[in-house]
Structure 1
Amino acid sequence: MSHDKHRTIDFFTEDALPAPRVTPADAERIAAQHLGFDAHAQALGSQQDANFLLRDGNRADLAVLKIANPAFGAVEIEAQDAAADLVSSAHPELRVATVLRRPDGSPRRTEVDTESGPVVARLLRHLPGGTLSGPRHLSPSTVAAMGTIAGKVSTALRDFRHPGLDRVLQWDLQYADRVVTKLAGHIGEPERRAAVRAATAEAWARVQQVADVLPSQAVHLDLTDDNLIRTPGRRPPMPDGVIDFGDLTTSWAVGELAVSLSSMLHHDGVEPHHVLPAIRAFHTVRPLSPQEAQALWPLVVLRAAGLVVSGRHQAAVDGDNAYAKAALDREWRIFEQATCLPLPVMIHLVKDATGLAGVPARADSPPQPLLRDLAAADIALVDLSTDADAMDDGAWIDSGTEARLVTAALAGGAAAVATRYAQARLTQAPALSAVSAATVPTGIDLWLGRATVAQAPAAGEVLVADRGQVEIAHGTRVLTLSFPPTVRPLLSVGASVQTREDIVHLPAGASIHVALRAAAGPAVPQLVRPEYAAGWLPLTDDPAPLLGLAATGLPEGTDLLDRRDAVFATVQEHYYANPPRIERGWRHHLLSTDGRAYLDIVNNVTPLGHAHPRVERAVSRQLRRLNTNSRFHYASVVEFTERLAGLLPEPLDTVFLVNSGSEAVDLGLRLAIGASGQHDVVALREAYHGWTYASDAVSTSLQDNPNALATRPSWVHTVDSPNSYRGRHRGTDAMRYGPEAAAAIDE
């Protein structure tokens, strides 16, 4: 039997695609007899192919024997090998599992008969390092690297053409709706089956809105955690290798990224916002069009749905395939994460991450105010942000802080007190939480000091009218007004309302919530998590103008981090690649402007904690009196140095005041050299001492200076820093550090 060389697969004409029945012994025979490779074979997992790791007698990894599914024709395999060669040539910094070649240059590829029929077998380059698969955490840098690789492969394959690309695959997102329709019946749980079908229908409709303008090209279509190989020994794990071109086809180019993103969603701790570094990295290498940004997350959902139905189907038709069965829970978690937020939210989040969001279109202000006889001058704004002075002394932790501030403002004569739209509330942040809290408001809260009447700011239709809530559609926006459940609105569902028509009578002391959302969008929570605010807020409008107040200003056009990088010396780094903006500290907490509290385990200059009340009072008192240097004669400097000197062991009895640790080290070296007459200094490796000339000379931390050991002055001699866990001498051998250091000093 032989393959039709020009035949390509059409998934929808196949009943099933079970992996070829090939044992390790069969694999060894095929490698030896047909490919000229004597080795031991170890089975590797695969969804539809049969893969084996070939090793020599010393168990050294030599190559991978890949036996294609019988449904795949020779022309398809040739296309995959040609694409792998192209990517390897275009990006030599990437390791690629290309086909191995015989001494005459021909590929080690052949057709063999198996129990499953004739198949194509070939030897591929083995890439050491292991995959990124499994539940392990993915760092932001690893996620970004995955996006970069997807972008590089996409650009390399942009102009690739081959007859073997003309395939109809179940993994091709162009056919995602048909795949789910065909295979959804294999999901045994009715609730899950219904959820997959509903998510597929919504995502497919979104993609179809832009499908005609999505660029198509050759795509790998399986750049997942299973097929990206880690650099051996790199920590954290970073991918630099690409394997398995088995899903190569012509499809939407943006699908390359969607497939890679979906594979991240099952990892420990990963939720949708954690994949944004990959989107940004891909966009840097291969820019997305606005339409591709619009389609990206719907395609992630379609990929997730396809994984679920295909996994159940493969487990049913290929009962012995442990690889397919083991993936079922992982595939369902991917689907759950892909669909845990409304599609419009994720679409806006993607656009924001790629800089394609633009300026959101805001609805015109309604012609009439919402609250009768309540002017802007009557309303006091309460600041609950990280920057607010009202958050001093840890007030943000007190659950009664908001009520206290409102009560004080009303007692001061305000007719009402209002919060700000989109301004993160520090009062909503728990002191310690592994997950961020919902702190960003999508509307405005209002507390009334006197009775008033809510009136329709424009003509509209009543969508909801119940105790405690009214919703009215005004054109493309929906006005939501929430109030105490003891208050009944004056309207009924379905009624038309006219401008200035009464909605509800609100008593003094009532607290109300006012929000505006897109009529065509999903329901919007009153508070959202800061990581997703850029996805939720474009679905809303600032209701401040309804109250006669100025709308919240848009954020600065230039990011503060960009401004810092423009004026800071590059060697003065900041913690973290994408650091939170920290503007407040309290005790052992650091507080960001998006209303999140972090446990401070990094800072090294606040041994008393942040904003210590006694320190603050002492500093303030001294600044009110005197701020000068130690050459003047005054009591506090003497009292301070006496206390320091009293802490010293005999015979030390004198204090030399300096302004920093770097200066202290520099002075200490100068005193030691002057006292001893010796200029040589022994310094521990991987230590940091400061920025002055002398303190930097004895600093050898590679984290601060990658060239530290190679750029030391001749008078600095380094010895190992004792480390019994990761050092050169470990365990009981750690006793050797001391004698080695003593020998260096004796020299």
Structure 2
Amino acid sequence: MGFDFLARPELPAPRVSESQAEHILATYYKMTARAVSLGSQQDKNFVVTADGGDVLGVLKIANPVFTRTELLAQDAAAAHLAAAEPNLRICVPLPNAAGETLTAVPDLADGTAYVRLLRFLPGGTLQDSGYLSDSAVAGLGEVAGRVSRALAEFSHPGLARTLQWDLRFGSQVVDRLARHVGDADLRRRLVEAGARAGSQLAALDVGLPRQAVHLDLTDANVVVSVGTEPPRPDGVIDFGDLTTTWAVSELAIGAASVLGHPGARPTSILPAVRAFHALRPLTSTEIAAVWPMIELRAAVLIVSGAQQLALDPDNAYLTDQSAEEVQMFELATSVPAAVMTGVLAADLDLSTPSSAVPASAPLLAMTPEDAHTLDLSTTADVYDDAAELSVAVEEAAAAAALRQGARWVVTRYGEPRLSRSPMLSQDRPSVVATGVTVWTADAVELTAPWDGSLATGDDGSVTLSGEGFEMILTGVDEITAAAVHAGQRLGRAQGRFDVSVRPADAPPAPSFTSVELAPGWLACTRDPRPLLGLAPLTRTAGEDLLARRDASFAPVQEFYYRRPPQIERGRRHFLMSTDVRCYLDMVNNVTVLGHAHPRIADAAARQLRRLNTNSRFNYRVVVEFSERLARLLPEPLDTVFLVNSGSEASDLAIRLAVAATGRRDVVAVREAYHGWTYGTDAVSTSIADNPNALATRPDWVHTVDSPNSFRGKYRGVDSWRYAPDAVARIETLTATGRAPAAFICESVYGNAGGMALPDGYLNQLYAAVRACGGLAISDEVQVGYGRLGDWFWGFEQQQAVPDIVSVAKSTGNGYPLGAVITSRAVADAFAREGYFFSSTGGSPLSCAIGLTVLDVLAEERLQDNARRVGAHLKARLAALGERHPLVGTVHGFGLYLGVELVRDRETLAPATRETAAICDRMLELGVVIQPTGDHQNILKTKPPLCIDIEAADFYVDTLDRVLTEGW
């Protein structure tokens, strides 16, 4: 029999200094090396490095209480695992000078100790990662699954030991060591949690398989790969806790460590459970054991750390771990085990149907004809005209249904209600109803659906207990008795009351829970509708909309995010998903006024009721819109073409220049994007959109250097040199007989994240192209319409006037509408080549929308808002660079900004992988943001112009959190 913690519960770490460790290396391994102490709780570990700094291994001084047989078992298990799982890196012992892997060293302060030099695995551990992404957590679960699968066939005499980390003894360990915890309230909670989890596990014990387990596959003992993006868990160290116990402990202990990381939530463990289950399937009993084990593991860690700190008060490793362990415990105890078991079962598609609610008599005998079921989901019509998305929507919708003749209005059990979701929140909102709300036209008498007893809560609620269930009512008065029979009067309700039902042994449920915890809480509650005389609503599994999309929608039409939320509603600078999450929209420069602007909706509906046809007909609105557009531009830009999109607008701009000059060559700026048509794709050279862009340009396209003042050929004060170089390129083309028809350029460099062009750049280039008889095209598709704040058009920032302007996106606030504005002379030259029209670009509907956009821009002073909020936002984003080296710079003006992320501020190595991961984490915290630039390392920050200071601060605060915690 090996070590028994219950018989000897004090294990101070061996007292071995760094000089003694170096002496051991020299004496037994014939190695001259440096030994630096590592963190450890009960053993003593040293990292061993050569004079040049190369890591040679880890010297492990085992606690003297552990026997030789136990240590040999650990070495044998490591060898067994290395053979069974060759793709896992395993920390195996290296031989000493005598060829042995286990060395007995006498004459230490604590007597003889066994020493091993373990192979060093480069890459670092998950403990060093801060926030753990889903892929990292899944990697941890995969490693645990592979280890569990391999060790199922391993046995050894050294496995017979009683460890404090073995959760079979966890409640005893908590009881015995809790006295070392100084905080009285925490100590009480630890003891209660230990007893509760221990009792739950004892009830499951007979159904839990046992085998050899590593027992410490935590973030600290799983090593990540070297040289892969992103790094993935692929190595295992420290077999010191090897024993025989419940097999599922391997998963639970690893999953528990996830909860100690920044940004963790109870459901953060799901990717690990999923990955483990895929390799080593879990039984229903094991699923039920996972959360009590996690709760017990957290309690054991805290009490053990407190005891060890009393034994070894100078051990910094113990102090460093305490905050993470407390967080682990708080999360583990924040959700009842029954609820998390339901969440796990649902995630693994192993849920079982819930039993129906029995009812000998109806609580309220509704008829389907007289009852209106209220839809409060994201797509419900009740939100369309609501002044704000709040609980008031529920009351207003119910009142409207009652006015229209319904006798009762009932909400849906288990439905996520958009009315409950806050606009700005980094947390998952509690929006899923665990009961129903009923509104009545008249006062109603409620009757008991079964025999039972009544109890009144402090909050005025009434609970009927009986038949294995509890029904909770709020908003009911005139309660008749403390005990009732089925069919007997319970009380009276008028106006509104709430009903929820749960099995008697289920934990009390909150009225609303988050979408991610809903499967667990709904497994612990029941639909009350049958008690009202109504059929229960069937909750259908969410459809795989992406699979349907791929089946009919060409996949080359990409979408944001790998696992995108389903967005079905927008309002102002927010987007709402079917999971009832509100996201701050920081990328949608298409909807310049904001999403679902009522003025746009009204204008569109009004025009559709009157007329919508093509622009060959004679109607007023096309004239009014064209006049308004022309008045926004300087002379001689007075003639308007209307099209459907920005691509079409810039394509037409090129065609106008070719027609007016009789030439075919065009000069474009590298790294730019102008559109998807043949012409605009030809002049687009962004390798982010087309990796082969530069190599596949037609011969009529000629490029000049990207005027990137941050990471380009010329930087900072030298950026003025871009213009003379580009001018020389135009002059060379002219001298060789290829004088360009046009020079096309975004007036603010959109693909580079809203970067400003060098001062005077456009004036010099415009003069050069005009000198050779060509025309200047300003692509204002992304930047125009007041987004810059101080300027309505981007070319105004350069104090230049182009010959042709292309604009879209903002023009229709999301409706397909674009425009090209030029001089009458250029337009007439184009007319000589034939006619032009756009069926819907100049339609009555598009023009009515275009006019309304201009009206709202002016009336709501959105350009001024872009200036004011944009300046605040840029200042706050720039301040992040003072604390986070990843922030290289902030580009842009107004609400056309780009946060460029770099791995090194000297080399400017782009943080491409980090930017993608940061965008995913920002989505998790409620912000939609995307990368841009040729290196995809710039956060393109182009929200609707209606965004306010509060939302801008939320964006920066969320980004600050991600940069602090990790991604």
TM-score w.r.t. length of structure 2: 0.68
Deviates more, 1:668-677 or 1:557-566: 668-677
Q: How far apart, CA to CA, are the structure 1 residues paired with 2:451 and 2:480?
A: 15
Q: Secondary structure at the match of 2:376?
A: coil
The verdict on how the C-alpha distance between 1:588 and 1:212 changes in structure 2, with shifts beyond 3 A counting, is: same
1:688–1:699: 8 Å Cα contact kept in structure 2? yes
The verdict on how the C-alpha distance between 1:634 and 1:341 changes in structure 2, with shifts beyond 3 A counting, is: same
1:645–1:654: 8 Å Cα contact kept in structure 2? yes
**Residue in 2 aligned with 1:406?**
398
**Residue in 2 aligned with 1:136?**
130
Q: How does 1:50-61 map to 2 (within 5 A)?
A: 50-61=44-55
Q: How far apart, CA to CA, are the structure 2 residues paired with 1:76 and 1:300?
A: 26
**Residue in 2 aligned with 1:504?**
491
Amino acid at match of 1:12: L
Deviates more, 1:385-394 or 1:78-87: 78-87
The verdict on how the C-alpha distance between 1:602 and 1:239 changes in structure 2, with shifts beyond 3 A counting, is: farther
Q: How far apart, CA to CA, are the structure 2 residues paired with 1:660 and 1:117?
A: 81
**Residue in 1 aligned with 2:893?**
none
The verdict on how the C-alpha distance between 1:722 and 1:50 changes in structure 2, with shifts beyond 3 A counting, is: farther
1:335-356 Cα shifts (integer Å, max 9, x gaps): 1110111121111111111111
Kindly indicate whether residue 431 of structure 2 is the aligned counterpart of residue 439 of structure 1: yes
**Residue in 1 aligned with 2:352?**
358
Deviates more, 1:638-647 or 1:377-386: 638-647
Q: How does 1:189-200 map to 2 (within 5 A)?
A: 189-200=183-194
Shift of residue 534 of structure 1?
1.0
Match of 2:511 among 510, 515, 526: 526
Match of 1:157 among 151, 159, 168: 151
Deviates more, 1:695-704 or 1:626-635: 695-704
Structure 2 unpaired stretches of 5+: 734-967
Q: How far apart, CA to CA, are the structure 2 residues paired with 1:81 and 1:665?
A: 69
Q: Secondary structure at the match of 1:541?
A: coil
Match of 2:532 among 539, 547, 552: 547
The verdict on how the C-alpha distance between 1:248 and 1:467 changes in structure 2, with shifts beyond 3 A counting, is: closer
Deviates more, 1:304-313 or 1:432-441: 432-441
Amino acid at match of 1:422: G
Match of 1:477 among 465, 469, 473: 469
1:17-69 Cα shifts (integer Å, max 9, x gaps): 11111111112121222123322221110111111122222333332222222
**Residue in 2 aligned with 1:3?**
none
The verdict on how the C-alpha distance between 1:214 and 1:616 changes in structure 2, with shifts beyond 3 A counting, is: same
Q: How does 1:361-510 map to 2 (within 5 A)?
A: 361-364=355-358, 366-371=359-364, 374-398=366-390, 400-464=392-456, 468-483=460-475, 487-492=477-482, 495=483, 497-506=484-493, 508-509=494-495
Amino acid at match of 1:499: A
Q: How far apart, CA to CA, are the structure 1 residues paired with 2:695 and 2:469?
A: 64
The verdict on how the C-alpha distance between 1:678 and 1:721 changes in structure 2, with shifts beyond 3 A counting, is: closer
Deviates more, 1:318-327 or 1:465-474: 465-474
Deviates more, 1:129-138 or 1:583-592: 129-138
Q: How far apart, CA to CA, are the structure 2 residues paired with 1:729 and 1:285?
A: 51
Q: How far apart, CA to CA, are the structure 2 residues paired with 1:166 and 1:99?
A: 21
1:553-612 Cα shifts (integer Å, max 9, x gaps): 221364434444555555444433443332110001111223332111133532221101
Q: How far apart, CA to CA, are the structure 2 residues paired with 1:740 and 1:299?
A: 70
Amino acid at match of 2:264: V
The verdict on how the C-alpha distance between 1:718 and 1:101 changes in structure 2, with shifts beyond 3 A counting, is: farther
Q: Secondary structure at the match of 1:439?
A: strand
Q: How does 1:117-132 map to 2 (within 5 A)?
A: 117-132=111-126
Q: How far apart, CA to CA, are the structure 1 residues paired with 2:96 and 2:339?
A: 53
Q: How far apart, CA to CA, are the structure 2 residues paired with 1:315 and 1:471?
A: 47
Shift of residue 297 of structure 1?
0.7
**Residue in 2 aligned with 1:616?**
601
Amino acid at match of 1:481: L
Q: Secondary structure at the match of 1:617?
A: helix
User: How many residue pairs end up in the alignment?
Assistant: 727
**Residue in 2 aligned with 1:4?**
none
Q: How does 1:21-100 map to 2 (within 5 A)?
A: 21-100=15-94
Amino acid at match of 1:456: A
Shift of residue 482 of structure 1?
1.5
Q: How far apart, CA to CA, are the structure 1 residues paired with 2:331 and 2:458?
A: 34
Q: How far apart, CA to CA, are the structure 2 residues paired with 1:329 and 1:730?
A: 48
Q: How far apart, CA to CA, are the structure 1 residues paired with 2:532 and 2:363?
A: 6
Shift of residue 641 of structure 1?
5.0
1:608-665 Cα shifts (integer Å, max 9, x gaps): 2110112222322333344445566655455545555565667666666554445556
Match of 1:242 among 215, 230, 236: 236
Q: Secondary structure at the match of 2:297?
A: helix
Amino acid at match of 1:318: D
Q: How far apart, CA to CA, are the structure 1 residues paired with 2:266 and 2:679?
A: 48
1:3-29 Cα shifts (integer Å, max 9, x gaps): xxxx73222232421111111111212
Q: How far apart, CA to CA, are the structure 2 residues paired with 1:17 and 1:101?
A: 27
Kindly indicate whether residue 2 of structure 2 is the aligned counterpart of residue 17 of structure 1: no
Match of 1:588 among 570, 573, 587: 573
Q: How far apart, CA to CA, are the structure 1 residues paired with 2:240 and 2:674?
A: 54
1:433-491 Cα shifts (integer Å, max 9, x gaps): 2223321111111223212211112223334478933211231221112125xx34111
Q: How far apart, CA to CA, are the structure 1 residues paired with 2:502 and 2:96?
A: 65
Match of 1:517 among 488, 494, 502: 502
What root-mean-square deviation, in Å, do the aligned CA atoms of Structure 1 and Structure 2 show? 3.6
**Residue in 1 aligned with 2:329?**
335
Shift of residue 204 of structure 1?
2.1
Q: How does 1:311-322 map to 2 (within 5 A)?
A: 311-322=305-316
Q: How far apart, CA to CA, are the structure 2 residues paired with 1:710 and 1:129?
A: 37
2:669–2:705: 8 Å Cα contact kept in structure 1? no
Shift of residue 238 of structure 1?
4.5
Q: Secondary structure at the match of 1:440?
A: strand
Q: Secondary structure at the match of 1:503?
A: strand
1:516-551 Cα shifts (integer Å, max 9, x gaps): 111111111222222211110111111112222232
Shift of residue 713 of structure 1?
6.5
Amino acid at match of 1:161: S
The verdict on how the C-alpha distance between 1:701 and 1:251 changes in structure 2, with shifts beyond 3 A counting, is: farther
Q: Secondary structure at the match of 1:209?
A: helix
Q: How far apart, CA to CA, are the structure 2 residues paired with 1:569 and 1:708?
A: 21
Q: How far apart, CA to CA, are the structure 2 residues paired with 1:701 and 1:96?
A: 44
1:168-227 Cα shifts (integer Å, max 9, x gaps): 221122222232233223223333222222212222222233322222233222222222
Shift of residue 236 of structure 1?
6.3
Deviates more, 1:307-316 or 1:394-403: 394-403
Q: How far apart, CA to CA, are the structure 2 residues paired with 1:664 and 1:288?
A: 58
Q: Secondary structure at the match of 1:54?
A: strand
**Residue in 1 aligned with 2:523?**
538
Q: How far apart, CA to CA, are the structure 2 residues paired with 1:380 and 1:678?
A: 66
1:134–1:267: 8 Å Cα contact kept in structure 2? no
The verdict on how the C-alpha distance between 1:610 and 1:34 changes in structure 2, with shifts beyond 3 A counting, is: same
Deviates more, 1:308-317 or 1:573-582: 573-582
2:28–2:96: 8 Å Cα contact kept in structure 1? no
Q: How does 1:297-316 map to 2 (within 5 A)?
A: 297-316=291-310
Shift of residue 158 of structure 1?
3.0
